Amino acid sequence: MRLQDVGTVETVVPKRDELGDVRKGKLTGRLHELQAATSQGFVLVHTTVLEGEQYATFVDTLTQDRSAL
């Protein structure tokens, strides 16, 4: 039986043009979180973007084989 750890990274990003700096900061933070997770052996397996009127929410799903630990 194959065992895996599953984790998610959720990032809420504003869509309003005047919040461009906030949006850039949120997306940069998401990138850093994903880089940290992959450096610990996690693999990004799926990304979903939930579109709202004022925000978009990125939900990244990562897995890690326990046998790799």
Residue 27: what pLDDT?
97
Residue 69: what pLDDT?
52
* CA 37 – CA 43 distance, rounded (Å): 8
The whole-model pTM stands at: 0.86
Positions in the chain whose pLDDT score sits under 50: none
Average pLDDT of the residues of the chain: 93
* CA 41 – CA 6 distance, rounded (Å): 12
